[in-house]
């Protein structure tokens, strides 16, 4: 149920059934496009335009044009050329054209009487007898009726099954007519509009639905027209203010203030066999200050692969333990959770801090023991997978939640774990981590409810991974290189990507590579892991690789976030041209963790397209995750980079986080102005653009 109707009574706020031709059934269909009220129709913008403002002479049209023509019907016949075709031949004195229909009725055939005039709009292509249109939109004119053209470009709207373009254009025309009598509320202060030199809302909407023939179409197609910028700005503002509201609400909630009662955090840091980098020290201090506040910390740690996020999170857990409460660490995969378990167990062994492990594959006896230790408070640090937030897991006094690779968890999963800590003392502090660096403007828009810390420094001694791209025709050279590296005591990954989103093909690709390498490297031990293996079998192979019993690990991208194997110095990635930059960078980060110089070889299939060529060039040129992320954002967009389909972040209707990134600093400043001086406008802007979406739990 959408509650955007809870606004002051007005024609624009009325349900869609007030429009002519909209009954309950059509209203239900329109809900699939998030259309509930008259005003919503105004915000459903065309995704392209068609030029029906001029009539083209048939003799002047060329294949590839999309245009309006009119001519006399010369002939209409049904022919059978592999399938039944209706061919209608028309002419206007300057030339002739064929209209071709594959799906038609007898009634349609009878409509096209010789001598009648027909107006058609469609794509022109080359046919056997000259230009033709396949299934054009057409209108047969009455005797004496002249062809008509439109005064404005014709909009083409996003559609859903059960409604056609003509019907949608009619609804928009009705909504525009209502808007001209009663303009929608102008919610942006005039000072902001003047500063950005943007038109008023009603002007922008009217222009974008009915642009004049002389419009700068290139500007509109690029999303840069001032009328589009006006709407994108307000939508970005709505999302930003919604997330800031979540943050404001969190600041009103109570949490246990975690002081340092025993000096454990500093003793923990002193016990490490290395010094924290200055970036790690800075982030540790930021987190420590947050944890001492009596309201929940909501902080995101960004750090490149290998930058040392986990030890920073462990220091935060030490502060929780020092305050006598529990901390939970959740990872998206059992492999990663187990790596955290191993690290934490090693780090906290000398401090007599009890840890508990919880995963889906545990034996029942082990699970019961873990659940009891968690419930009684005996276990101070609890590590696991999504099993941590399942029913039957009761914490004694959970006050800190650490979520690794946060974009892999759905919003409801994170809220569920957060709610495990709700009690008399309030909500737990939240620390979320990602090894996918997020460009600043994107972080501003997507994580405005979180404070952000960046670990922008790698530990000393970490040498950049050398990266090269080779055609897969040179695979035999690469195999020989793997043999030489392993003969020197090193280990190698050989990664096969998921192909066409098919687990079966993914499995086959890994199997084929495994068989090929087993034969080619007869003297080496080759292992295989893929997504269809059961956890115990997968973990057994990964452990064998980690302890050196396997020389070459053939894997699918399940190892993108995986165990730390310092001895692995070579990463081979098959079909690298199929992967996104951030994923390739994550895979590359699996090597370069030991003393040896490490290498990443990206194998690609020829011919290589320009986009893939650009992508692979970025990885050859830089090891900086933030540079990689910015280019990935430009090439693939924010949805894939952040995994927004999982995060629960609402989709943008008009704004584009890449195209409109430059607006974000002004969005931030404007949000503060509106929040301070126009609080009612802030609420209405959010409701106009997000409806119920802004009521998602805190992420």
Residue 196, pLDDT score = 87
Q: Which of 188-197, 268-277, 444-453, 499-508 has the lowest mean pLDDT?
A: 499-508
Average pLDDT for 105-119? 91
Most confident of 36-50, 430-444, 486-500: 36-50
Maximum distance among all Cα pairs of the chain, rounded to whole angstroms: 97
Top pLDDT among 639 and 497 is at 497
Q: Please answer whether residues 163 and 21 qualify as being in contact, where contact means their C-beta atoms are separated by less than 8 angstroms.
A: no
Please report, rounded to a whole number, the percentage of residues in the chain having pLDDT higher than 90: 48
Average pLDDT for 357-373? 91
Q: Please answer whether residues 119 and 69 qualify as being in contact, where contact means their C-beta atoms are separated by less than 8 angstroms.
A: yes
Distance CA 680, CA 344 (A): 48
Which residue shows structure tokens 């857990």? Answer: 317
Top pLDDT among 289 and 13 is at 289
* Domains, in order of start, for the chain: 54-149 (2.40.50.140), 224-462+661-699 (3.40.50.300), 466-622 (3.40.50.300)
- Using one digit for the tens of pLDDT, what is the confidence trace for 210-226? 998 888 888 888 889 99
Distance CA 613, CA 253 (A): 50
Residue 647, pLDDT score = 42
Top pLDDT among 70 and 410 is at 70
Residue 416, pLDDT score = 64
Average pLDDT for 157-175? 90
Q: How confident is the model at residue 4 (pLDDT cuts 50, 70, 90)?
A: very low
Residue 505, pLDDT score = 53
How many residues are present in the chain?
699
- Using one digit for the tens of pLDDT, what is the confidence trace for 242-252? 888 877 887 88
Residue 178, pLDDT score = 95
Top pLDDT among 652 and 545 is at 545
Top pLDDT among 492 and 584 is at 492
What does residue 607 show for φ and ψ, rounded to 5 degrees? Answer: -80, 150
Please report, rounded to a whole number, the percentage of residues in the chain having pLDDT higher than 70: 90
pLDDT score of 555 more than 80: yes
pLDDT score of 501 more than 60: no
Strand arrangement, sheet containing 381-384 = 355-358, 381-384, 326-330, 398-403, 429-434, 298-303, 451-455
655-665: b or e for each residue (b if 16 or more CB lie within 10 Å)?
A: bebbbbbebbe
pLDDT score of 635 more than 50: yes
Distance CA 109, CA 113 (A): 8
Top pLDDT among 607 and 551 is at 551
Q: How confident is the model at residue 431 (pLDDT cuts 50, 70, 90)?
A: very high
- Using one digit for the tens of pLDDT, what is the confidence trace for 22-62? 999 999 999 988 899 999 999 999 988 988 999 999 999 99
Average pLDDT for 147-154? 88
pLDDT score of 690 more than 50: yes
What does residue 414 show for φ and ψ, rounded to 5 degrees? Answer: -70, -40
Global pTM value: 0.69
Could you give the C-alpha distances from 580 to 474, 590, 591, in angstroms and in order?
22, 16, 18
Distance CA 558, CA 139 (A): 56
- Using one digit for the tens of pLDDT, what is the confidence trace for 176-202? 999 999 988 899 988 888 988 999 999
pLDDT score of 259 more than 90: no
Q: How confident is the model at residue 166 (pLDDT cuts 50, 70, 90)?
A: confident
Mean pLDDT of the chain: 86
Distance CA 19, CA 279 (A): 59
The tokens describing 501, both together, are 């989103």
Distance CA 509, CA 514 (A): 9
- Using one digit for the tens of pLDDT, what is the confidence trace for 593-628? 877 899 999 999 888 888 788 888 999 998 888 788
Residue 398, pLDDT score = 93
Distance CA 587, CA 304 (A): 12
Top pLDDT among 647 and 361 is at 361
pLDDT score of 379 more than 50: yes
Which helix (H) or strand (E) segment holds residue 443: the answer is helix 440-446
Average pLDDT for 115-142? 94
Give the residue among 479, 465, 491 at the shortest CA–CA distance from 574.
479
Which residue shows structure tokens 């609804």? Answer: 171
Q: Please answer whether residues 331 and 357 qualify as being in contact, where contact means their C-beta atoms are separated by less than 8 angstroms.
A: no
Residue 135, pLDDT score = 93
The tokens describing 155, both together, are 């909009």
DSSP states along 452-501: EEEE--PPTT-PPPEEEEEEGGGHHHHHHHHHHHHHTT-EEEEE---BTT
- Using one digit for the tens of pLDDT, what is the confidence trace for 263-277? 999 999 999 999 999
């Amino acid at each position: 149920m959408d509650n955007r109707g809870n606004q002051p009574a007005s024609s624009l706020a009325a349900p869609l059934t007030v429009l002519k031709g909209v009954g309950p059934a059509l209203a239900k269909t329109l809900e699939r496009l998030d259309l509930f009220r008259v005003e919503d129709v105004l915000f459903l913008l065309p995704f392209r335009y068609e030029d029906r403002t001029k009539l083209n002479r048939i003799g002047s049209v060329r294949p590839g044009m999309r245009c309006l023509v009119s001519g006399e019907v010369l002939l209409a016949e049904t022919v059978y050329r592999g399938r039944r075709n209706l061919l209608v031949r028309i002419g206007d004195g300057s030339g002739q054209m064929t209209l071709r229909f594959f799906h038609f009725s007898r009634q349609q055939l009878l409509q096209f009487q010789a001598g009648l005039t027909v107006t058609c709009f469609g794509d022109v292509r080359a046919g056997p007898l000259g230009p033709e249109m396949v299934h054009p939109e057409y209108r047969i004119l009455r005797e004496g009726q002249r062809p008509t053209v439109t005064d404005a470009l014709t909009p083409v709207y996003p559609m859903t099954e059960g409604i056609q373009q003509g019907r949608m254009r009619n609804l928009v025309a009705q909504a525009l007519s209502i808007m001209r009598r009663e303009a929608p509320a102008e919610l942006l202060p005039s000072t902001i509009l003047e500063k950005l030199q943007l038109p008023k809302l009603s002007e922008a909407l009217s222009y974008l639905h009915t642009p004049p023939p002389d419009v700068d179409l290139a500007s509109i197609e690029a999303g840069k027209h001032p009328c589009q910028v006006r709407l994108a700005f307000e939508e970005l503002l709505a999302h930003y203010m919604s997330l800031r509201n979540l943050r404001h609400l969190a600041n009103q909630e109570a949490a246990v203030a975690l002081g340092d009662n025993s000096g454990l955090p500093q003793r923990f840091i002193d016990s490490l066999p290395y010094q924290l980098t200055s970036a790690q020290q800075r982030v540790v201090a930021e987190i420590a200050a947050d944890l001492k506040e009596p309201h929940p910390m909501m902080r995101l740690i960004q750090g490149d692969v290998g930058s040392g996020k986990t030890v920073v999170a462990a220091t935060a857990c030490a502060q929780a333990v020092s305050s006598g409460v529990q901390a939970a660490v959740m990872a998206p995969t059992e492999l990663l959770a187990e790596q955290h378990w191993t690290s934490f167990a090693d780090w906290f062994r000398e401090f007599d801090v009890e840890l508990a492990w919880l995963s889906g594959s545990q034996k029942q006896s082990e699970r019961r023991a873990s659940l009891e230790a968690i419930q009684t408070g005996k276990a101070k640090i609890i590590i696991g997978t999504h099993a941590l937030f399942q029913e039957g897991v009761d914490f004694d006094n959970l006050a800190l939640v650490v979520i690794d690779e946060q974009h892999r968890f759905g919003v409801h999963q994170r809220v569920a774990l957060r709610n495990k800590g709700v009690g008399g003392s309030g909500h737990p502090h939240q620390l979320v981590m990602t090894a996918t660096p997020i460009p600043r403007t994107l972080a501003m828009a997507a994580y405005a409810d979180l404070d952000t810390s960046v670990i922008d420094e790698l530990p000393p001694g970490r040498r950049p991974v050398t990266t090269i791209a080779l055609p897969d025709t040179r695979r035999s050279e690469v195999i020989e290189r793997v043999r030489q590296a392993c003969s020197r005591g090193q280990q190698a990954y050989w990664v096969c990507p998921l192909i066409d989103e098919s687990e079966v093909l993914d499995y086959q690709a890994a199997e084929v590579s495994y068989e090929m390498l087993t034969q080619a490297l007869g003297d080496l031990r080759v292992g295989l892991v893929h997504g269809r293996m059961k956890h115990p079998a997968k973990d057994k192979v990964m452990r064998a690789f980690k302890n050196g019993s396997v020389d070459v690990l053939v894997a699918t991208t399940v190892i993108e976030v995986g165990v730390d194997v310092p001895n692995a110095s070579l990463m081979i990635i098959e079909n690298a041209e199929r992967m996104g930059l951030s994923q390739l960078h994550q895979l590359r980060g699996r090597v370069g963790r030991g003393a040896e110089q490490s290498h990443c070889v990206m194998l690609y299939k020829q011919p290589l397209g320009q986009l893939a060529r650009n992508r692979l060039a970025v990885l050859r040129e830089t090891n900086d995750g933030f540079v990689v992320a910015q280019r990935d954002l430009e090439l693939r967009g924010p949805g894939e980079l952040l995994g927004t389909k999982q995060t629960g972040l609402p989709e943008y209707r008009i704004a584009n986080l890449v195209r409109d990134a430059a607006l974000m600093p002004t969005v931030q400043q404007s949000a503060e102005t509106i929040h301070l001086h126009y609080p009612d406008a802030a609420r209405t802007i959010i409701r106009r653009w997000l409806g119920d979406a802004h009521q998602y739990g805190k992420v």
